Amino acid sequence: MSNTVHRPEELISLATDVLLRANTSAENAAPVAEALVAADTDGLASHGLSRLPFYADQAASGKVNGQAAPDISARGAVVNVDARCGFAYRAINEGNEQGIAQARNSGIAAVAIGNSHHFGVAGYHVERVARQGLIALAFGNTPAAMAPWGGSSPVFGTNPVAFAAPRDGAEPLVIDLSLSKVARGKIMMADKAGEAIPEGWALDTDGNPTTDTKTALAGSMVPLGDAKGAALALMVEILTAGLTGSNFAFEASSFFDAEGKPPRVAQLFLLLNPEFFGGTSGFSSRMTALLEAIARQQGTRLPGERRLAARAKAKDQGGISIPDVLHQQLLDRRGQG
């Protein structure tokens, strides 16, 4: 499969146009396009432009409301956002904008997004908050892909968790992980490439290990840390869908087809202002001391360093490398095929 480097601005424009042609407003298309291109920039192709055809098909069919404007209300330190079955990105951006203002004033804010959709790379959203000087945690539930520990039928999503903290003179520290051993998108990419997956990633419908992608996609993902990961996935379901009245994973429709009702999943962001907490020596200096203690040990690396290396590579080569087949597919959807 051949790849070609494209400028980020070109890809954002292309992605925006594809969504506009799929019954999506400009206010919704722009943040989606920016987030997907950012994922490819960071080497996270499973959450990049490869998702755009699915998004566009769902907007065209009405499974995602491409015209939705988020409904936002606040109560105390909580910002509630009803995404109204639209794309998650605009809902998160607008909700976190209010959450950041709340955290600056009171030290803490929670931003709860209900009736939402796939929110892409969780680390993307918390990094944006950390660039405003705040600590951010994110939780998101996704359609069922993971069985309870000891079971064989998916009940939980892969339910990503992310964390970001600001750093003086450096990029924010970003921790981003799926509660399955690998993101489900990696299995889908392996399936598209006709490749087997390593044993330990997924189980078949009877709960047995499998290396076949189609069997894995019909079965369930293996949780990160086995029973502990399954317990954390349960926690995320409660913090997201439970708090917002959205769909639990086992109730949500797929992110990968245009049929059925909207997924109506949810996300929760917790924003913390370090200036309100009690450390006498300052948050920034304590962060530096901890990260330097890690870096002093040979063979270690900080979370997110691979992502930053991919970002630097994209800058050095003047753009982002994406498969030519995908690029042509998007051009066809734009009407330039």
Strands (E), the chain: 3-6, 71-75, 78-82, 108-116, 135-140, 161-167, 170-177, 202-203, 209-210, 220-221, 265-272, 320-323
Residue 279: is its pLDDT beyond 80? Answer: no
On average, the pLDDT of the chain sits at 95
Taking each helix axis from N to C terminus, what angle separates 52-61 and 324-334, rounded to the nearest 10 degrees?
30
pLDDT band for 278, please (50, 70, 90 cuts): confident
Residue 184: is its pLDDT beyond 70? Answer: yes
Model pTM score: 0.94
Tell me: the pLDDT tens digits for 189-213? 888 888 999 988 999 888 889 999 9
* Average pLDDT for 25-38: 98
* Nearest C-alpha neighbor of 95 from the set 59, 119, 66, 63: 119
- Per-residue pLDDT, 16: 98
Give the amino acid at 40: D
Tell me: the pLDDT tens digits for 43-95? 999 999 999 999 999 999 999 999 999 999 999 999 999 999 999 999 999 99
Tell me: the pLDDT tens digits for 209-258? 999 999 998 889 899 999 999 999 999 999 999 999 999 999 999 999 99
For the record, the structure tokens of 237 come out as 């379901």
**Position with higher pLDDT, 25 vs 206:** 25
